[in-house]
């Protein structure tokens, strides 16, 4: 085989693989858009019942055709505190079962199916036109899914065509055969090869397709193909671990649990390697690709049935793999801010990550409430040292809100620029408006603090009546903030009436204070400096409340 032949094989194979991976991406994104909100709701309700977790993981992965997407989403949910670690382990076990659906699609539809006057891929592509050109937005994701499946089959045809002909390259067959001639060492070698290649390709489904095609073309024997599949099950865990790199401790533990589950499964399968190989060959003695597909299913189902009884032990192990870190001191804003609940990874899960983005916004709201709670300490500070310490904390929180807005806006803008469903796009627009107003609330709190600072600098003192009025206004705004924060927990049950009622009370108080202030100015009850500081403060409180009601209104967009 010449260098020219090798280069041609690599180019053709890489191009075919690119088509296959793009098809997988289109299928996954189309299914996520069609069922993303349902998937989020289902996963968000998983309890510690292992059976429900396994069934959910199986169903979700079979639907969205990507175990990587499911595990990345699970890491996000654990990271966000929406899913317990034990529930996550069960869902990941189910995801391993659900991913076998792709292998069955390839074996039953994608091998040798490109011949004939009417291929299935072309039929599916033709059917997708109905969904793509329909005026109903809800059906367009179905069209994307169908065309993705059609491209998947086309990619399989291209991969099959890119496979070298053994008759033309006998040296290639001899090279592979030589690697297969070392017994258990060869099995371990092919496990390592499967792990490395899956880490590089970032898709166990793509590697499974390649393995099945190599078997179909006679390049691989049953034992070496099974070893490759075992390695692929280890390599596929890299995606969730990449996503967990920016996750908190709980998210990292979920990703490590995926790794532990698959590695332990491989070790157990190695012990039972010969009996399992004989079993799948007895079912499909003359069809190696189908035997490998059956092994893939037996491997994942068998591991789940075995290890489901050891979930506490898996959690015990990952607890030691990922030790807990001490949290920052309570009440202090962190020095730096990074997204806490949104896991970034190589798999496109923007549609599914909106639930985590919502939790991120809840964190934003909590930070704003903590910042607001510092304002009364400015008035009661006993000396300059105490006052300056509170001011520094408020300024630190304001800088934090700026960074939170920037990070969230960047993520949501990227998600909105992608291929989201109509509901997903609407939710992104709503979230962008929410975080803009939350940042404005932080700015308003800082302005109130600066006004207090200038008042103290200029030795301006309010009497008890003015202080009581501002205290009342402060409490009404605090109530509005609490209503806002509650509304951010569940967008579908946001209480806009309570938010409007809180806003009206703030406005009524502002009107009363303004009327009293104008009357006091006319009668000369206090000087210009006191009047300016006083009117500035109650006006700033009212302006802050305007941003608060904007948040609740944005939820209902």
293 & 370 share domain:
no
**CA–CA separation, 401 and 404 (whole Å):** 5
What's the average model confidence in pLDDT over 388-409?
Answer: 90
107 & 231 share domain:
yes
363 & 262 share domain:
no
Name the nearest CA neighbour of 481 among 515, 530, 444.
444
Predicted confidence band at 414 (pLDDT cuts at 50, 70, 90)? Answer: confident
Q: What is the CATH number of the domain that holds 471?
A: 1.20.58.220
The tokens for 144 are: 């994307």
Predicted confidence band at 82 (pLDDT cuts at 50, 70, 90)? Answer: low
Query: For all residues of the chain together, what is the average pLDDT?
Result: 82
207 & 166 share domain:
yes
State residue 22's pLDDT score.
80
Tell me the percentage of the chain whose pLDDT exceeds 90.
36
Alpha carbons within 13 A on the beta-carbon side of 448: 31
Last residue of a domain, one of 321, 341, 372: 321
State residue 328's pLDDT score.
43
Name the nearest CA neighbour of 505 among 473, 537, 529, 534.
473
pLDDT digits (tens, 9 = 90+) for 109-127: 766 554 444 466 777 788 8
In the block, tokens 């490590």 appear at 256
State residue 115's pLDDT score.
45
304 & 385 share domain:
no
Q: Is there a domain that residue 152 lies in?
A: yes
What's the average model confidence in pLDDT over 153-166?
Answer: 69
167 & 36 share domain:
yes
Tell me the percentage of the chain whose pLDDT exceeds 70.
80
Name the nearest CA neighbour of 269 among 320, 232, 240, 239.
232
Residue 166 has pLDDT above 70, yes or no: no
Number of domains in the chain: 2
State residue 482's pLDDT score.
95
User: Which SS3 state, helix, strand or coil, does residue 63 take?
Assistant: helix
Q: Is there a domain that residue 337 lies in?
A: no
More confident residue, 400 or 342: 400
State residue 533's pLDDT score.
92
Query: Is pTM, for the whole model, over 0.75?
Result: no
What's the average model confidence in pLDDT over 136-144?
Answer: 77
Residue 45 has pLDDT above 80, yes or no: no
What are the percentages of helix, strand and coil residues in the chain, rounded to 5?
80, 0, 20
What's the average model confidence in pLDDT over 188-203?
Answer: 85
Predicted confidence band at 28 (pLDDT cuts at 50, 70, 90)? Answer: low
Q: Is there a domain that residue 464 lies in?
A: yes
391 & 315 share domain:
no
More confident residue, 139 or 361: 361
371 & 435 share domain:
yes
- Three-state SS string over 188-244 comes to HHHHHHHHHHHHHHCCHHHHHHHHHHHHHCCCCCHHHHHHHHHHHHHHCHHHHHHHH
Alpha carbons within 13 A on the beta-carbon side of 387: 16
Predicted confidence band at 344 (pLDDT cuts at 50, 70, 90)? Answer: low
pLDDT digits (tens, 9 = 90+) for 264-304: 999 999 999 999 999 999 999 888 889 999 999 999 999 99
Predicted confidence band at 80 (pLDDT cuts at 50, 70, 90)? Answer: low
- Three-state SS string over 132-200 comes to HCCCCHHHHHHHHHHHHHHHHHHHHHHHHHHCCCCCCCHHHHHHHHHHCCCCHHHHHHHHHHHHHHHHH
State residue 451's pLDDT score.
94
pLDDT digits (tens, 9 = 90+) for 218-238: 778 888 999 999 999 898 888
Q: Is there a domain that residue 335 lies in?
A: no
Q: Is there a domain that residue 98 lies in?
A: yes
Last residue of a domain, one of 274, 304, 321: 321
Backbone angles phi, psi at 80, to 5 degrees: -85, 0
Name the nearest CA neighbour of 437 among 353, 556, 338, 552.
552
Segments forming the whole domain that contains residue 453: 350-555
54-58, 143-147, 307-311, 414-418: lowest mean pLDDT where?
Answer: 414-418
State residue 117's pLDDT score.
44
Residue 31 has pLDDT above 70, yes or no: no
223 & 93 share domain:
yes
Predicted confidence band at 34 (pLDDT cuts at 50, 70, 90)? Answer: low
Q: Is there a domain that residue 421 lies in?
A: yes
390 & 267 share domain:
no
Predicted confidence band at 350 (pLDDT cuts at 50, 70, 90)? Answer: low
502 and 473 in contact (C-beta within 8 Å)? Answer: no
In this structure, the number of other CB atoms found within 10 A of the CB of residue 309 comes to: 9
354 & 317 share domain:
no
Q: Is there a domain that residue 339 lies in?
A: no
259 and 196 in contact (C-beta within 8 Å)? Answer: no
Q: Is there a domain that residue 387 lies in?
A: yes
432 and 409 in contact (C-beta within 8 Å)? Answer: yes
Last residue of a domain, one of 282, 300, 321: 321
Residue 168 has pLDDT above 90, yes or no: no
158 & 236 share domain:
yes
């Amino acid at each position: 085989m010449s260098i020219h032949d090798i280069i041609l094989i690599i180019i053709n194979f890489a191009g075919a693989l690119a088509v296959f991976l793009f098809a997988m991406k289109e299928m996954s994104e189309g299914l996520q858009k069609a069922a993303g909100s349902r998937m989020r709701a289902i996963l968000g309700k998983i309890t510690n019942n292992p059976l429900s977790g396994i069934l959910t993981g199986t169903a979700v992965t079979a639907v969205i055709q990507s175990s990587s997407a499911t595990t990345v989403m699970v890491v996000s949910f654990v990271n966000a505190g929406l899913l317990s670690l034990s529930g996550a382990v069960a869902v990941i076990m189910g995801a391993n079962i659900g991913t076998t659906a792709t292998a069955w699609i390839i074996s039953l539809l994608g091998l040798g199916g490109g011949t004939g006057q009417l291929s299935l891929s072309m039929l599916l592509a033709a059917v997708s036109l109905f969904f793509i050109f329909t005026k109903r937005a809800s059906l367009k994701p179905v069209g994307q899914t169908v065309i993705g499946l059609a491209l998947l089959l086309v990619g399989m045809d291209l991969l099959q065509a890119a496979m070298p002909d053994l008759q033309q390259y006998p040296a290639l067959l001899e090279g592979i055969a030589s690697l297969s001639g070392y017994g258990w060492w060869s099995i371990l070698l092919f496990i390592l090869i499967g792990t490395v290649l899956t880490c590089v390709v970032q898709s166990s489904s793509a590697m499974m397709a390649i393995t099945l095609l190599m078997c179909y073309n006679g390049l691989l024997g049953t034992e070496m193909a099974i070893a490759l599949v075992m390695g692929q099950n280890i390599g596929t865990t890299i995606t969730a671990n990449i996503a967990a790199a920016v996750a908190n401790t709980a998210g990292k533990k979920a990703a490590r649990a995926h790794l532990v589950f698959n590695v332990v499964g491989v070790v157990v399968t190695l012990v039972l390697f010969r009996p399992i190989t004989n079993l799948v060959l007895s079912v499909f003695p003359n069809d190696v690709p189908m035997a490998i597909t059956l092994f893939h299913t037996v491997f994942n189902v068998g591991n789940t049935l075995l290890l489901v009884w050891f979930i506490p032990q898996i959690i015990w192990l990952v607890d030691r793999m990922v030790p807990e870190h001490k949290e920052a001191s309570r009440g202090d804003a962190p020095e730096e801010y990074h997204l806490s609940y949104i896991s970034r990874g190589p798999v496109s899960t923007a549609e599914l990550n909106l639930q985590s983005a919502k939790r991120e916004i809840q964190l934003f709201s909590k930070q704003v409430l903590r910042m607001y709670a510092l304002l009364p300490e400015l008035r009661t500070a006993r000396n300059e040292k105490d006052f300056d310490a509170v001011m520094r904390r408020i300024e630190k929180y304001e800088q934090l809100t700026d960074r939170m807005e920037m990070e969230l806006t960047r993520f949501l803008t990227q998600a909105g620029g992608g291929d989201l469903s109509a509901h997903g796009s609407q939710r992104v627009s709503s979230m962008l408006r929410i975080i803009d107003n939350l940042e404005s609330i932080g700015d308003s709190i800082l302005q109130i603090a600066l006004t207090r600072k200038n008042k103290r600098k200029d030795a301006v003192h309010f009497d008890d009546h003015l202080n009581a009025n501002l205290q009342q206004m402060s409490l009404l705004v605090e109530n509005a903030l609490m209503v806002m924060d509650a509304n951010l927990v569940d967008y579908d049950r946001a209480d806009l009436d309570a938010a409007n009622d809180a806003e009206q009370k703030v406005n009524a108080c502002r009107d009363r204070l303004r009327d009293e202030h104008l009357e006091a100015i006319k009668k000369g009850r206090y000087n210009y400096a006191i009047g300016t500081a006083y009117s500035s403060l109650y006006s700033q409180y009212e302006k802050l409340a305007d941003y608060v009601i904007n948040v609740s209104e944005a939820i209902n967009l």
